[in-house]
């Protein structure tokens, strides 16, 4: 028998289960003054949810500090290893978009914890929500730090330097706003539980924070995986919080209709937004064309279809919630058969002058990979990217307004704010007597039926409403393109050169200036639609559904 230090010094401690039990007893029912009324919900939650993670702050803070130490150590090591000498600018440029968006949804998630924490009775899960609140604060500021690090060390800092301003203004980041504001606005259960934790975190953080870092590493960027895999390691706790709250909501049969509504809305809109953005980043921001690696579609099937749909969504049927299997199938069809991601990438490229990062043309090497992974891709998109490359030189007519290409600028979806790129699926409908455009029938259902003060005969006064100048194009309707870019502040320090460029040539002689884009007038497709007669509108939509053909580029 050996004597160890542990045996000499060990003492009886409190078990994790006992510790969490005592901590969950910190709360009480106020009797002098009731807690402030919180944000509204149409759900009824009477069952106290349980905290499945059973973690206390005593172990949480040291664990998180250790994770941070690894992250910051890795960033230092990346600089010492001269990471940026070998990083792919095509990739880092897209990080200007991604990292402009993501800190806002993250901190919104922190705010939403305040909304959800008071909704459920009992204190058990409040500890879990508290840790998630601090986690989200971590994510937001660690991502801002990463972005600052790129800005300080990457060849072209323009775009990173205006990041949060750009987030509020850009024609592409508007999609991210819908994502982030969706976490904190509207019915509390709809926003903070179903949209955020049950769908965004449980399903789509896998593509956001796992699939994307893999692609970063393939492009010589070891910083993004370091930060985002650390972020993702917090998500399992958040998924537990969401599931526990969902289970509490399921106990009340009267919630089931709303759960069906919200699962439907949240899944479809997460698909529309996350797949548009992350699909494009992964497929078009990479230079790695290894045919053995998974495409975004293949990853989606693994993470969303197999993991989430089969193991998380489907079992909800046992509890009495109707799951719309067709929606999942339709999302899959959009990605694999309707070229959703490719059409979004095409849209981002067409609008390059009003963004704040560089988008490089796809090349022959890229074409071969796309055709291998998505048979038929070249026939539909090959000529477009040739046009894009050809029109990337200053002095050419900017691709956004170049009618030679055959591209037709799309309508914007009033629900997801993603353009209606799958042309055959566009739907129009009226809200408050005004025409609106939707990318899909489910988007129309979201705005008209789900975000309404009544759902299938049941009053839903707590539900949010889509508002504001949701169609980005309407903000600059009638503006000269150059004036709009100047107003957006997407101009470099000389007051002339655009932040965005349609290439990766780091030389003043190749860079576009305001003078190169002046003379084109931006138009709001929605305003134009609303000005049409009924006959003209029907004809316009019918033609829109037929799509367009890119002209051959020689």
Partner 1 sequence: MVATSSSVGSGAAGAATFVGSTSRRYNYFEPRGKRATHYEDVTVDVQPDPERYLIQDWIIEFEGGKGGGAYTKDSTAARSSNWHAFRAPDQEWERTHYQRQSKIESMVQSVITNARRAGAPRSFDKNWQMILQKHLGAWKHAEFGLGTSLMQAQRYGYSQMINNATLTNSSYKMRLAQDITLYLAEIGMDLEAWDDELGKKCWLEDPIWQPTREAIETIMGCEDYLEQYFAINIVFEPLVGELIRSGFFMQAAAANNDFITPPVISAAEADYERNLANTVDLIYLLANDEQYGDHNRKLFKGWLAKHRDLADKAAIALQPIWSQPHSKPVSFEDVKAVSHERISQIVTELGLS
Site for partner 1 in 207-246 (CB under 8 A): 220
Q: Which stretch binds partner 1 (CB under 8 A): 5-13, 245-253, 267-275, 346-354?
A: 5-13
Place of tokens 């301003």: 165
Q: Rounded to the nearest whole angstrom, what is the least distance from the CB of residue 31 to partner 1 in the complex?
A: 7
Under a CB-based contact definition with an 8 Å cutoff, are residues 286 and 296 in contact?
Answer: no
Per rule CB under 8 A, is residue 118 in the interface with partner 1? yes
- Within 515-534, which residues bind partner 1 (CB under 8 A)? none
Nearer to partner 1, 504 or 532 (CB): 504
Nearest to 235 by CA among 105, 73, 40, 97: 105
Residue 458: its H or E element: strand 458-459
Q: Rounded to the nearest whole angstrom, what is the least distance from the CB of residue 295 to partner 1 in the complex?
A: 20
CA 92 centroid distance within chain = 18
Nearer to partner 1, 207 or 416 (CB): 416
Under a CB-based contact definition with an 8 Å cutoff, are residues 221 and 88 in contact?
Answer: yes
Task: Let me know the angle formed at the C-alpha of 378 by 282 and 440, rounded to the nearest 5 degrees.
Answer: 65
Alpha helix (H) residue ranges in 302-449: 325-336, 340-350, 364-373, 377, 383-390, 441-445
d(CA 387, CA 389): 5
In the beta sheet, which residues pair with residue 419? 412
Nearest to 303 by CA among 331, 264, 324: 331
**E strands, 19-107, where?**
none
Q: Rounded to the nearest whole angstrom, what is the least distance from the CB of residue 519 to partner 1 in the complex?
A: 22
**Residue selected from 6, 9, 533, 554 as contacting partner 1 according to rule CB under 8 A:** 9
Per rule CB under 8 A, is residue 261 in the interface with partner 1? no
Nearer to partner 1, 243 or 513 (CB): 513
- Within 359-378, which residues bind partner 1 (CB under 8 A)? 360
- Within 122-181, which residues bind partner 1 (CB under 8 A)? 126-127, 129-130, 133-134, 137-142, 144-145, 148, 151-158, 161-165, 167-169, 174, 177-178, 181
Nearer to partner 1, 137 or 401 (CB): 137
Report the sign of the C-alpha dihedral through residues 295, 297, 300, 302, in that order: negative
Angle between helices 57-80 and 124-153 (to 10 degrees): 10
DSSP 204: I
Q: Rounded to the nearest whole angstrom, what is the least distance from the CB of residue 246 to partner 1 in the complex?
A: 21
Q: Rounded to the nearest whole angstrom, what is the least distance from the CB of residue 362 to partner 1 in the complex?
A: 11
Per rule CB under 8 A, is residue 11 in the interface with partner 1? yes
Count of CA atoms in the C-beta half-sphere (13 A) of 62: 4
d(CA 10, CA 8): 6
Under a CB-based contact definition with an 8 Å cutoff, are residues 501 and 388 in contact?
Answer: no
Per rule CB under 8 A, is residue 23 in the interface with partner 1? yes
Lay out the site mask for partner 1 across 484-503 (x = CB under 8 A, - = otherwise). Answer: --------xxx-xx-x----
Q: Rounded to the nearest whole angstrom, what is the least distance from the CB of residue 113 to partner 1 in the complex?
A: 7
Nearer to partner 1, 20 or 339 (CB): 20
Per rule CB under 8 A, is residue 431 in the interface with partner 1? no
Lay out the site mask for partner 1 across 447-486 (x = CB under 8 A, - = otherwise). Answer: -----xx-------xxxxxxxxxx-x--x-----------
- Within 341-360, which residues bind partner 1 (CB under 8 A)? 360
CA 468 centroid distance within chain = 20
Q: Rounded to the nearest whole angstrom, what is the least distance from the CB of residue 392 to partner 1 in the complex?
A: 12
Nearer to partner 1, 18 or 317 (CB): 18
Per rule CB under 8 A, is residue 1 in the interface with partner 1? no
Nearer to partner 1, 25 or 515 (CB): 25
In the beta sheet, which residues pair with residue 454? 459
Nearer to partner 1, 257 or 462 (CB): 462
Nearer to partner 1, 323 or 351 (CB): 351
Residue 436: its H or E element: strand 434-438
Nearer to partner 1, 65 or 546 (CB): 65
434-438 and 454-455 beta bridge pairing: unpaired
Number of residues that bind partner 1 (CB under 8 A): 125
Per rule CB under 8 A, is residue 30 in the interface with partner 1? yes
Per rule CB under 8 A, is residue 393 in the interface with partner 1? no
Nearer to partner 1, 211 or 499 (CB): 499
Q: Rounded to the nearest whole angstrom, what is the least distance from the CB of residue 333 to partner 1 in the complex?
A: 28
Nearer to partner 1, 265 or 407 (CB): 265
Contacts of 197 (CB under 8 A, 6+ apart): 238, 239, 241, 242, 243, 245
Nearer to partner 1, 92 or 428 (CB): 92
- Within 270-299, which residues bind partner 1 (CB under 8 A)? 287
Q: Rounded to the nearest whole angstrom, what is the least distance from the CB of residue 496 to partner 1 in the complex?
A: 8
Under a CB-based contact definition with an 8 Å cutoff, are residues 124 and 51 in contact?
Answer: yes
Nearest to 415 by CA among 345, 350, 471: 471
Token pair belonging to 95: 């990080």
d(CA 344, CA 320): 36
d(CA 81, CA 391): 37
- Within 45-84, which residues bind partner 1 (CB under 8 A)? 56-58, 61-62, 64-65, 68, 72, 82, 84
Token pair belonging to 447: 């705005």
DSSP secondary structure string, 300-337?
HIIIIIIIIIIIIIGGGGGGTPPP-HHHHHHHHHHHHT
**Residue selected from 6, 36, 318, 395 as contacting partner 1 according to rule CB under 8 A:** 36
Per rule CB under 8 A, is residue 107 in the interface with partner 1? yes
């Amino acid at each position: 028998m050996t004597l160890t230090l542990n045996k000499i010094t060990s003492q009886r401690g409190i078990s994790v289960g006992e510790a969490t039990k005592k901590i969950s007893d910190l709360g009480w029912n106020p009797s002098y003054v009731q807690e402030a009324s919180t944000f509204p919900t149409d759900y009824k939650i009477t069952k106290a949810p349980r905290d499945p993670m059973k973690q206390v702050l005593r172990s949480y803070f040291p664990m998180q500090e250790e994770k941070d130490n690894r992250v910051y150590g890795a960033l230092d090591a990346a600089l010492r290893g001269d990471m940026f000498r070998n990083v792919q600018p095509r990739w880092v440029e897209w990080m200007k978009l991604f990292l402009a968006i993501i800190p806002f949804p993250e901190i919104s998630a922190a705010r939403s914890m305040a909304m959800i924490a008071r909704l459920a009775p009992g204190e058990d899960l409040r500890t879990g929500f508290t840790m998630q609140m601090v986690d989200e604060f971590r994510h937001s500021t660690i991502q801002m730090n990463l972005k600052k690090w790129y800005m300080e060390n990457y060849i072209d800092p323009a775009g990173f330097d205006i990041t949060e301003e750009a987030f509020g203004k850009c024609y592409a980041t508007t999609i991210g706003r819908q994502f982030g504001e969706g976490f904190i606005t509207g019915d509390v259960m709809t926003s903070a539980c179903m949209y955020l934790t049950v769908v965004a975190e449980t399903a789509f953080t896998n593509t956001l924070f796992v699939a994307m870092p893999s692609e970063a590493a393939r492009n010589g960027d070891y910083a993004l995986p370091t930060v985002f895999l650390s972020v993702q390691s917090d998500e399992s706790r958040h998924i537990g919080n969401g599931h526990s709250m969902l289970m509490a909501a399921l106990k009340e049969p009267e919630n089931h209709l709303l759960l069906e509504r919200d699962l439907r809305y949240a899944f479809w809109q997460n698909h529309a937004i996350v797949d548009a953005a992350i699909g494009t980043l992964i497929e078009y921001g990479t230079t790695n064309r290894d045919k053995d690696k998974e495409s975004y579609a293949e990853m989606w099937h693994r993470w969303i279809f197999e993991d989430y749909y089969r193991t998380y969504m489907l079992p909800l049927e046992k509890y009495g919630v109707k799951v719309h299997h067709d929606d999942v199938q339709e999302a899959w069809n959009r990605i694999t058969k309707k070229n959703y991601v490719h059409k979004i990438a095409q849209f981002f490229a067409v609008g390059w002058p009003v963004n704040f990062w560089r988008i490089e043309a796809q090349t022959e090497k890229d074409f071969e990979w796309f055709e291998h992974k998505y048979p038929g891709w070249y026939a539909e998109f090959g000529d477009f990217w040739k046009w894009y490359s050809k029109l990337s030189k200053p002095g050419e007519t900017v691709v956004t307004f170049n009618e030679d290409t055959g591209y037709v600028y799309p309508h914007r979806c009033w629900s997801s704010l993603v353009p209606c790129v799958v042309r055959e699926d566009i739907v129009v409908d009226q809200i408050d007597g005004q025409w609106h455009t939707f990318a899909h029938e489910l988007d129309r259902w979201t705005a008209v039926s789900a975000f309404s003060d009544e759902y299938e005969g049941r009053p839903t006064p707590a539900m949010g409403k889509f508002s504001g100048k949701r169609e980005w194009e309407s903000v600059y309707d009638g503006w000269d393109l150059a004036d709009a870019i100047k107003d957006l502040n997407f101009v470099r320090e000389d007051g002339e050169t655009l932040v965005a460029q349609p290439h990766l040539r780091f030389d003043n002689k190749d860079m576009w200036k305001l003078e190169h884009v002046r003379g084109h007038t931006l138009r709001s497709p929605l305003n134009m639609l609303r000005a049409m007669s009924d006959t003209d509108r029907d004809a316009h939509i019918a033609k829109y559904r037929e799509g367009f053909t890119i002209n051959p580029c020689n």
